Amino acid sequence: MARRLDTYLQTLISEENFDFYSTVRDFTDNEVAPHILQWERDHELVPESCIRKMGEIGLFGLPIAEEYGGQGGAQTELILMGLAMGYHSQSVAITPGAAISLGAKPLQLCGTEVQKRAHLPDLAAGKRMFVFGLSEPGRGSDAANPEVTAKKVGDDWIISGEKCWSTNAKWASHVIVHAMTDPDGAHAKRSTCFIVPIDAQGVSYVEMSGKRVWEQSSTGSIMFENVHVKDEDVLGELHNGFKVMVTTLNGGRLFIASLALASLAFALDKTRVYAEERIQFDDKSIGRFQRVQDVIIDMDIVLERNLTWLIHLCRLYDENRLSREQAAKVKVDSSRAASELIAMAMEVCGGVACLDEFGLIRHHNDVFVTRVGEGSNFALKDLIVRPLRKG
């Protein structure tokens, strides 16, 4: 059965891009799909052997320039990876996704030449992984005012505090720490980003327990106890670290939208096939009921509409013309629509949708993260409304 995702992508992207998408789709069909249920039942993170294979097919270097050892690809390729891999598992897809769009990206956007040469080749090869250290136990949406501090003492900066919800913490080589450096500065001009090695003295990590979404993705709390770093570890401008973080999140939000649509694409295929196979009343399929058809039609419309929108925004991103509002809107709309429709898809499938082996419950749970991750949808509306209030 042809995936509806494939049908739409064929009309939206170049042949070269579709070949790349097919490579990641086949990789995921072979390396992830046959194992994901067992990984879930065993509460296992993505195995390191699987991450290594992702590195071997070049996924970690996708949008990194060739001069730094990457594939020199564009945002579209990153999104295609999210769609192809997220179709079976968002939590597997977010592993390279966060490594690229949240870990390596700030370095690509704001790093010095020395920092880029020091890290990007190993990041592109999958030998290192950077973690995006924005969120804290006391600072989620209010991220411009970190409680983690970095104080200048002599030649050193001394970092203290805790980051949480750090995706890929288990595999991290470094953390990009967003820390308060000038509490008396103007709003959003009080913080600085630092590149901190995970094995620096005073850094410790613990995997967060009890998470029932993105189960195969590592999510850690990272503690900093008087960790010493130098001026050359500052990423971007001093006291302008929030800009580094929010600029990075523009691309990240496009990736999150791709995960929401990947889950929707899976749910659509699963539901339309099941609706034809499930026989109830008079030896006929439930696919003949118009209320069932309505759910399937709505999923199909949203998938085609938002894929078209997302691919368009990827092109704007590559041309440096994507606004923060545009990235926020496609993330808000895709995540909200996908989660509402996946809940409806489960209702169409009935009791069987509650079984892990059916696959829908995984996407139902994981799609929730796309509503709160990289800016909760409610908070992002503050951003979206700004141009609407200018008159």
Q: Which residues 16-75 are close enough to bind ligand FAD by CB under 6 A?
A: none
Binding segment (CB under 6 A) for ligand FAD, from list 134-142, 150-158, 185-193, 314-322: 134-142
Q: Establish whether 31 is a catalytic residue.
A: no
| 324 is a site residue for ligand FAD (CB under 6 A) | no
> Quick one: which of 54, 62, 93, 102 contacts ligand FAD (CB under 6 A)?
102
Neighbours of 134 (CB within 10 A): 29
Question: Is 135 a binder of ligand FAD (CB under 6 A)?
Answer: yes
Q: Shortest gap between Cβ of 350 and ligand FAD (angstroms)?
A: 29
Show contacts with ligand FAD in window 239-268 (CB under 6 A).
none
Q: Taking CB under 6 A as the rule, does residue 293 contact ligand FAD?
A: no
Q: How far is the CB of 148 from ligand FAD (least distance, A)?
A: 11
Q: Which is nearer to ligand FAD, 219 or 335 (CB)?
A: 219
Q: Which of 165, 171, 224, 242 binds ligand FAD (CB under 6 A)?
A: 165
HEC secondary structure over the chain? CCCHHHHHHHHHCCHHHHHHHHHHHHHHHHHCCCCHHHHHHCCCCCCHHHHHHHHHCCHHHCCCCHHHCCCCCCHHHHHHHHHHHHCCCHHHHHHHHHHHHHHHHHHHHHCCHHHHHHHHHHHHCCCCCEEEECCECCECCCCCCCCCEEEEECCEEEEEEEEEEEECHHHCCEEEEEEECCCCCCCCCCEEEEEEECCCCCEEEEECCCCCCCCCCCEEEEEEEEEEECHHHEECCCCCHHHHHHHHHHHHHHHHHHHHHHHHHHHHHHHHHHHHHCECCCCCEHHHCHHHHHHHHHHHHHHHHHHHHHHHHHHHHHCCCCCHHHHHHHHHHHHHHHHHHHHHHHHHHHHHHHCHHHCHHHHHHHHHHHHHCCCCHHHHHHHHCHHHHCC
Is residue 136 a contact partner of residue 148, using CB atoms and an 8 Å limit?
yes
- Report the residue from 79, 134, 180, 330 that binds ligand FAD according to the rule CB under 6 A: 134
User: Smallest distance from the beta carbon of 355 to ligand FAD, in angstroms?
Assistant: 23
User: Which of positions 363-382 make contact with ligand FAD (CB under 6 A)?
Assistant: 369, 372-376, 378-379, 382
Closer by beta carbon to ligand FAD, 105 or else 239 = 105
- Closest residue to ligand FAD, based on beta-carbon distance: 140
How many other CB atoms are there within 10 angstroms of residue 346's CB atom? 22
Cβ closest to ligand FAD, residue 134 vs residue 286: 134
219 near ligand FAD (CB under 6 A): yes
Using CB under 6 A as the binding rule, whether residue 214 contacts ligand FAD is answered as yes
CB nearer ligand FAD, residue 55 or residue 140? 140
How far apart are CB 378 and ligand FAD at their closest, in Å?
Answer: 3
Q: Which is nearer to ligand FAD, 8 or 214 (CB)?
A: 214
Question: Binders of ligand FAD: how many residues, by CB under 6 A?
Answer: 23
The residue annotated as part of the active site, out of 31, 77, 136, 374, is 374
Sign of the alpha-carbon dihedral angle for 161, 166, 172, 175: negative
CB of 288 to ligand FAD, least distance (A): 39
Question: Given the rule CB under 6 A, which residues bind ligand FAD?
Answer: 98, 102, 132-135, 140-141, 165-167, 213-214, 219, 369, 372-376, 378-379, 382
Q: Which residues are catalytic?
A: 374
